[in-house]
Amino acid sequence: MVVKSSVTFLAVVALAVFSTYTPQVEAHSWADCIDWKFNNAKKQDWSDKGGKCTGYARRFPLGKKFASLDDADPNRHYQQDHKNPDSALPCSDGKAGEEPGSNETLGKPVSKAYGGKYGRMTVTTVGDTLCVRWPAKNHAVKSEHENFVRINLSKVRNGKDISQKELLKNNIAKLPFKNCMPGKNEDTRACGGCFKVPVRAAGTYLLQWRWMLNKNEYYTSCSDIQIGK
């Protein structure tokens, strides 16, 4: 009876410890907004109270809670093939990749990927500042190495999506991933970075948000931006 009681006691203790243990779930990020406008131009506030989004990635669903789209079906993050990411599809087609993500293929016409249930397309000019926002998803903690978001902008005007290899030749910005708002919830902290729109002739261009989490582990979001004169 003593042995049985001891076993029962240990089982109860183990269950109690397990039930109080809440491991930090790691998910993967994406571009939540391509053209974030701050309420106060002198203060970078990436939270929902600090500004609003005026331009989105392709087929970005409106009305979703910030940082919640990793639980959607399909999820929003697209992980390129880790064996050869530089030759992978630059934008998710909903089928390819380690984690396919939702469909971000080029609209036919381009406008078909925006409006209605989707967010609006980014409209900007050469020299303008674009600010991109993303959720931390538990990857902005001090214990993790600094990783970066690279912004690639095609030089092909009003055309098809270029390859990932070609996009790598058109990198226009390198942004620290950990540029985030303070907060206890490491999953939903809002992060972001800004860059200047380079010289391009008036037209519509592919912009890619590409984040390296680990070696050969890349996540991308694609957007069309309309550059005016």
Burial class (CB in 10 A: 0-12, 13-18, 19+), 121: buried
Over range 204-219, report the average pLDDT.
96
Please list, in sequence order, all residues whose beta carbon lies within 8 angstroms of the beta carbon of residue 128, skipping any fewer than 6 positions away: 196, 197
Look up the domain containing 58 and give its range: 2-228
Q: What pTM does this model have?
A: 0.88
The CATH number that applies at residue 38 is 2.60.40.1930
Q: Using 50, 70 and 90 to split pLDDT, how confident is the model at 13?
A: very low
Q: Strand pairing of 217-228 and 122-125?
A: parallel
Instruction: Kindly state the DSSP code that residue 87 receives in the 8-state scheme.
Output: G
Angle value at C-alpha 94, between 92 and 158, nearest 5 degrees: 45
* pLDDT above 50: residue 161: yes
* pLDDT above 60: residue 14: no
* pLDDT above 50: residue 187: yes
Across the chain, what does the average pLDDT equal? Answer: 90
Please list, in sequence order, all residues whose beta carbon lies within 8 angstroms of the beta carbon of residue 81, skipping any fewer than 6 positions away: 87, 88, 96, 97, 98
Integer Rg of the chain from CA: 21
Over range 170-184, report the average pLDDT.
96
Q: Whole-angstrom Cα distance, residue 12 to residue 206?
A: 57
Q: Using 50, 70 and 90 to split pLDDT, how confident is the model at 25?
A: low
Tens of pLDDT along 100-125? 999 999 999 999 999 999 999 999 99
Domain count, the chain: 1
Burial class (CB in 10 A: 0-12, 13-18, 19+), 94: middle
